[in-house]
A and B are shown apart, each in its own frame.
Chain A
Amino acid sequence: MNMNVANSSTTPLIELDRVSKRFGGLQAVADVSFSMRSGEIVSLIGPNGAGKTTLFNLITGQLQPSEGVLSFEGREIGNLKPHQRARIGFGRTFQISQTLTSMSVLENAMIGAFLQEKELAAAAARAQHALTLVGLDHAAKRRSGELTLGERRRLEVARALSMNPKIVLLDEVMAGLNETEVEEIISLVRKLNAEGVTFLVIEHNLKVVRAFSQRVLVLNRGQLLAEGTADDVLANPDVIEAYLGRSGQ
């Protein structure tokens, strides 16, 4: 176990080397390179259509890169399928929450927990623990279709957490949530991060980005535009231009 910590300082947890994705004539992601160390919280921001979700799908395997190398703990994973990547430690949520509506809230989280547990009772206990972390434990027996949008998002996070992942990718989990719910997720991410979980987060709410990111990546038209601390990146004239358009002329 301690080996991981020793390794993490040398080998990045994930590394992208000139990763590209084309859809026909559209270059959705172009030559993106970056790496993340274990224990980081990195935010991925950028205007709509910048390729953020495509990049997520490349990292978790829903899409295959057209070019480039993707590694996890020093090992190339570019041709691993999504379920194989889930098994080596990737947990994720989807931009449009994907609730398994025929199941109860707890059973939704159990689907993630089965990655670690074969038995129903053990999976239920693990799922319950994940629900407690996201503050949904009181709703465990409810039908998942009855949940509010905010609760569904947290359920997605709980399902990802119950997989016991090494890195969690959150795709706009704050969208449509109220202030209190946003605060709850920020403190949840911080708490889990303190326990060693790595996060890569797509986020539009810049207050949230400032609140927890150790590093921010800005994507524009498929390319990495800037990289740095939240304050540096948000003061960068290129970034402001990408969001608001050119000033003056």
Chain B
Amino acid sequence: MTAASGRAFDGAAPSRSLSNYGVVGFRVELLRLIVAMAILGLIVAFYLGDTFTLNILATTFLFAGLATAWNIIGGLGGQFSLGHSVFFAIGAYVTAGFYMRLGVSPWFALAPAAVLAAIVSALVSFPVFRLRGPFFAIATMALTEVVLSLALYFESVTGGARGISVPFRRGFANMIFTDRLSYALLMMGFLAITLLVLAYIARSRLGYELRAIRDNDRTAEAAGINVVRTKLIGMAISAALMAIGGGLYMMYVRVADPPTLLSLFDIGVKVALITLIGGIGTIYGPLLGALLVVPLESMLRATLGGVFPGSNLVVLGIILILTALYLRKGIAGAAEGIYTRIRKGRRT
């Protein structure tokens, strides 16, 4: 039958489970993910009454989720975007707009925010994807500046330089809470969703295709992968999740102006840095990076902020240099290296 088809071979039925091939499937990953979330749950439980720490945890989980979302296209797909604050801002503005003008609950505004960010990301990425490496990164940086100017100009939508303030009206439907625990759990839920999406993609055909494109796009297209389409899908999913994070951020801080939402450093570069420090292209790297960077930064800002303004940036810079020097694959890569060494040591 193979001779008749004129093809190399027709598929053999899978006779073994994935683990026999040294390949991790989604089911195994899901178990790991549940363990990871349980550990985070324990951390939250430990700080139940501590408002200061719960606030830090909320921010940490938010940035862990944002970095995880960035990692889909930035890590797996290798498209080093520094313009993700654009999608973050879209999420914030759509959520605020629906809530303030139409009285729509932020819970429901997250969906159109995600869809709009996905569409915008596809439209802007299509021309930018022709650029490679640093040129792609620079173009996405420029995109941030363009959108910032637009946001300042279109005052009716964004509130211009004054920004948007959401009045404090507590209630679950408004996504506004008095206690910090609710926000910590809200952000933890966001993180769980981004991790679930990243894990599902990484352990499926799409993830393999994105990685193939990252490693070598010529090989990828010769293997039948539609490179542009695959990158667009990765970017759209990443942008949609980023927008959901933006919407949650809006309701968390209840005040936002264009320079904050579209900050190149505080959003666009930071999600990439957190991922790099934690382990780019890995599933738990962004989470590990956020767990290290965000609490440290918040602590420094709280303690030394008055005495040495900007000390948090200095420390972030030092961490980045140390990572670049000693942990080329980030915290997750180093942990994996130690794990394999232990396993190999046991075998022999």
Contacts and interface: CB of A to CB of B under 8 A. Distances in A.
A218 interface: no
Interface in B216-266: 216, 218-227
B31 to A, nearest CB: 16
Contact of A140 (B6, B21, B26, B221): B21
A28 to B, nearest CB: 18
The size class of the interface chain A forms with chain B is 35 or more
A159 B220 CA distance: 11
B8 A38 contact: no
A121 B16 CA distance: 8
A113 to B, nearest CB: 8
A128 B221 contact: no
Nearest to B203: A120
A126 interface: yes
Task: Determine chain B's interface SS by DSSP, over half rule.
Answer: loop
B130 interface: no
Contact of B2 (A13, A111, A128, A196): A196
Contacts of A197: 6-8
Contacts of A103: 208, 211-212, 215
Contact of A198 (B6, B204, B214): B6
The size class of the interface chain B forms with chain A is 35 or more
A120 B18 contact: yes
Nearest to A101: B215
A1 interface: yes
Contacts of A1: 1, 4-5
B11 interface: yes
Interface string A105-125: 011001110111111111111
A110 to B, nearest CB: 6
A83 B224 contact: yes
Contacts of B26: 120
A53 interface: no
Interface of A: 1-2, 4-5, 8, 13, 38-39, 60, 62, 81-83, 86-87, 89, 91-92, 94, 98-104, 106-107, 110-112, 114-126, 128-130, 133, 140-141, 159, 161-166, 168, 192, 194-198
What are the 8 tightest A-B residue pairs by CB atom distance, in nearest-first order? A86-B224, A141-B22, A100-B215, A125-B14, A115-B224, A121-B14, A196-B3, A98-B219
